[in-house]
Copies of this chain bind each other. A is one copy, B any other.
Amino acid sequence: MAKLVECIPNFSCSKEKDEAAYNALVEVAKSVPGCTLFDAQTDGNHNRCVFTMIGAPEAVEEVAFQLAKKAAEVIDMTKHVGEHSRMGATDVIPFVPTMGVTVEECVEITKRLGQRMWDELKIPSFLYEDSASAPHRRNLAACRKGQFEGMPEKLLQEEWAPDFGERKIHPTAGITAIGARMPLVAFNVNLATSDVEIAKKIAKVIRGSSGGFRSCKAMGFMLEDRGIAQVSMNMVNYEDTPLNVVYEMIKSLAERYGTYIVGSEVVGLTPAKALLDCAEHYLKLENFDAHNQVMEYHLVGME
């Protein structure tokens, strides 16, 4: 099986505001063999662009560094104006294990990258999400609070020393957040009731922040067009908290409130494994080794 890592760096520039800078970054993103630029999105109002790259771990790590280097050359944060919160030319670099790689291996990538960005570029960094060195740093918004302009002062606070580098920002490139995280699965479950309070009560029971499943974020909503209530979830680690586990818990809670599940949905992309694990559960599969037995895993990276 091929080893693949996804990297989704965010830069404080846009094609709309500075086409030369944007094009220079795109060129770098395509420059390392073994790493593919899947998608590039740019937003003029945010004055920000986001690349989605997938490739071999070493290739992705290298291209992330080269991008941070180029961004420091072409972006001057002292002149950046845009609606989106930001603290660096390369604002944030998430790494997500895609195939044949653990999140721990991605954490190692983030640490090497942070060290190298300091050593060679003098850009400091925070490690966030699964790379975080302390609980208060897991959340990206907490790291970025104060933004570029407030960072010099923030870095002097006891609890906000950078993970790599000294307590001062790069004068024009600022500071970067680097973090590893599992792929997120957006999973919603629809109930046969128009009572949104039931969905809210169920969400409260199942979400980690109020005592439920650690890797489940949940809210209760009304689907106005269908007149039914929905438990809307972000599953931030489907290995930690499987989809079938929250589904069965919701099923049980719905019954307790006199209703039932009418359907569910996965929004956008999901790794196959999040659903293969559900099939394994419901079919009571014994000794199933998805990465060896599911044909598609052998086809990725085929020459």
Binding site for B on A (CB under 8 A): 4, 36, 38, 54, 98-99, 183, 190, 243-244, 247, 261-266, 268-272, 275-276, 278-280, 282-288, 293-303
| C-alpha gap A38/B301 in the complex (Å) | 13
B284:A282 contact, CB within 8 angstroms: no
Chain B positions within 8 Å of A287 at CB level: 265
Chain B positions within 8 Å of A264 at CB level: 283-286
Please give me the residue from chain B that is nearest to A285 by CB atom. Answer: B264
| C-alpha gap A4/B265 in the complex (Å) | 28
Chain B positions within 8 Å of A300 at CB level: 296, 299-300, 302
B269:A295 contact, CB within 8 angstroms: yes
Main secondary structure of the interface of A (DSSP, over half): mixed
The 10 sampled A-B contact pairs (Cβ below 8 Å) are A99-B296, A265-B287, A266-B285, A268-B293, A269-B295, A270-B294, A271-B295, A272-B272, A272-B276, A272-B294
Chain B nearest CB from A231 CB (Å) reads 13
| C-alpha gap A303/B278 in the complex (Å) | 30
Q: Of A263, A275, A297, A298, which is in contact with the most chain B CB atoms at under 10 Å from its CB?
A: A275
With A269-B298, A301-B302 given, name 17 new contacts (CB 8 A).
Answer: A36-B303, A261-B284, A263-B285, A263-B286, A264-B285, A265-B286, A265-B288, A271-B295, A272-B295, A275-B279, A275-B280, A275-B283, A278-B278, A278-B282, A282-B282, A296-B296, A299-B300
Please give me the residue from chain B that is nearest to A55 by CB atom. Answer: B302
Chain B nearest CB from A4 CB (Å) reads 7
| C-alpha gap A270/B295 in the complex (Å) | 6
Chain B positions within 8 Å of A98 at CB level: 295, 299
| C-alpha gap A98/B301 in the complex (Å) | 15
| C-alpha gap A176/B270 in the complex (Å) | 43
Chain B positions within 8 Å of A293 at CB level: 266, 268-270
Please give me the residue from chain B that is nearest to A262 by CB atom. Answer: B284
A247:B294 contact, CB within 8 angstroms: no
Q: Of A36, A190, A288, which is in contact with the most chain B CB atoms at under 10 Å from its CB?
A: A288
Please give me the residue from chain B that is nearest to A284 by CB atom. Answer: B263
Chain B positions within 8 Å of A299 at CB level: 4, 54, 98-99, 300-301
| C-alpha gap A147/B190 in the complex (Å) | 59
Given A4-B299, A272-B272, A300-B302, A282:B244 Cβ within 8 A: yes
